A = this chain, B = another copy of it.
Amino acid sequence: MKRKVCVVVASRANYGRIKYVMRAVQEHPELELQLIVGASTLLERYGRAVDIIRQEGFEPDRSIFYVVEGETPLTQAKSTGLGIVELSTAFQDLKPDMVVTVADRYETMATAIAASYMNIPLVHVQGGEVSGNIDDRVRHAITKLADIHFPCTEQSRERLIRMGEDEDRVFNYGCPAMDVIANEDTAINNDVMAGYGGVGSAIDWSKPYMLMVQHPVTTSFGDGMHQVMETLHALCEFPDHQKVVLWPNSDAGSEDVAKGIRSFRERGESAGFHFYRNFSPEDYVRVLANASVCIGNSSSFIREGSFLGVPAVVVGDRQRNREHGPNVTFADYTQASVQAAITRQLQARAYEHDDLFGHGDAGKKIAGMLAQIELNFEKGNSY
């Protein structure tokens, strides 16, 4: 009997991080992949990541709509509640031997609660990190509900054990998001990029460009519009570079950030800017890998950026306390601070590859462990 490993993918970011684990589970002779897609993966406004997931050979066993519209902390809580209601029914039907959840967002909590309450062993990838915002709470709370942990760095592994998790079920195999980079060509294909549409000035991918990804910060809800406009204005100061901008994810406050972007565009200041909804994880990595500098607060700047050695300007507090490599410099939410940091990074040019986040083989190692680890445990606490 193959072990049924159920992966829940609830956002495009989730997918990029877990894809190589899914692939390795699919290919492992003793494992069977079950896939649930939900929340923003199904929504037009967030680029329907489910379409890319299907194209790449994963057929969802369940598709569940559970985003309560509003994009406030209130509706994030409600979405989590609705997610639990529906995921629990799906788990009952699919009867997985274990459930895999990734990272730290609100939908992740829905998966964690449904699985752990139902006594299904819960596997958590990317636990133990510290970023200095509300995500920390959610991430650590999920840790306490989880049974098997695949943190992505040595510091994270140690923190999980310090938090009381059983050392025998905490494994640092590096971050599966690195597998995307290690396994695929990072050259940009102009035709493929054209297919992503988007709006704004045409991008010539053979010429220098900056990448901007700025998500809303849930603890400073309401400031997103202002914050994103400061960053956009800073970018305007570098007319020699094209600007590639991704719309924000579906966190509380994303409408606020989106409004800032729309307002910026409507004022006609966006010459040289192109705004995209979504890339496949591979194409996203390609865009990141070839950027002169990346600006914003995506954790990919720290993770993939470190692996690739891409100069990164991390704006604001969202990732402030995260473990990071030499490619990262920080800036405040002001045009001046962002502009100064970009200037520094343009001078630095590329950095060396750093293996803080692993070697690009996490997916296979994780699948291997899922096939062999003892599942009949009671969760203890080794304080």
* Chain B residues, Cβ within 8 Å of A132: 378, 380
How many Å lie between the Cα of A377 and that of B266 in the bound state?
37
Q: Give chain B nearest CB distance to A154 CB in angstroms.
A: 14
Chain A residues numbered 339-354 whose CB sits less than 8 Å from any CB in chain B: none
Is A375 an interface residue when CB atoms closer than 8 A count as contact?
no
* Chain B residues, Cβ within 8 Å of A381: 130, 136, 140, 321
Q: Which of A6-14, A78-86, A229-237, A287-295 contacts B (4 or more CB under 8 A)?
A: A78-86
Q: Which of A51-59, A105-113, A179-187, A326-334 contacts B (4 or more CB under 8 A)?
A: A105-113
How many Å lie between the Cα of A69 and that of B266 in the bound state?
26
Known contacts: A66-B68, A74-B65, A74-B92. The answer to whether A137 contacts B116 by CB under 8 A is yes
Chain A residues numbered 122-180 whose CB sits less than 8 Å from any CB in chain B: 130, 132-134, 136-138, 140-145, 159, 162-164
Query: CB < 8 Å: which of B110, B119, B130, B378 contacts A73?
Result: B119
Is A62 an interface residue when CB atoms closer than 8 A count as contact?
yes
**Copies of this chain, count:** 4
Is A285 an interface residue when CB atoms closer than 8 A count as contact?
no
How many Å lie between the Cα of A376 and that of B342 in the bound state?
32
Is A221 an interface residue when CB atoms closer than 8 A count as contact?
yes
Check B89 against A64 for contact (C-beta < 8 Å): yes
B interface footprint on A84-99 (CB within 8 Å = 1, 0 otherwise):
1110110111000000
* Chain B residues, Cβ within 8 Å of A73: 117-119
Query: CB < 8 Å: which of B92, B119, B218 contacts A219?
Result: B119
Chain B residue at minimal CB-CB distance from A92: B74
Check A113 against B118 for contact (C-beta < 8 Å): no
A interface, over-half SS:
helix
Q: Give chain B nearest CB distance to A109 CB in angstroms.
A: 7
How many Å lie between the Cα of A186 and that of B84 in the bound state?
43
Chain B residue at minimal CB-CB distance from A112: B141
Chain A residues numbered 351-383 whose CB sits less than 8 Å from any CB in chain B: 378-381, 383
Chain B residue at minimal CB-CB distance from A93: B62
How many Å lie between the Cα of A4 and that of B236 in the bound state?
46
Is A44 an interface residue when CB atoms closer than 8 A count as contact?
yes
Chain A residues numbered 211-228 whose CB sits less than 8 Å from any CB in chain B: 218-219, 221
Is A304 an interface residue when CB atoms closer than 8 A count as contact?
no
Check A84 against B81 for contact (C-beta < 8 Å): yes
Is A34 an interface residue when CB atoms closer than 8 A count as contact?
no
How many Å lie between the Cα of A332 and that of B84 in the bound state?
34
* Chain B residues, Cβ within 8 Å of A92: 63, 74
Is A76 an interface residue when CB atoms closer than 8 A count as contact?
yes
How many Å lie between the Cα of A81 and that of B112 in the bound state?
12
Known contacts: A73-B119, A164-B140, A379-B137. The answer to whether A68 contacts B82 by CB under 8 A is yes
Closest 5 CB pairs of A and B: A81-B84, A81-B85, A140-B144, A77-B117, A77-B88
Check B88 against A84 for contact (C-beta < 8 Å): no
Is A271 an interface residue when CB atoms closer than 8 A count as contact?
no
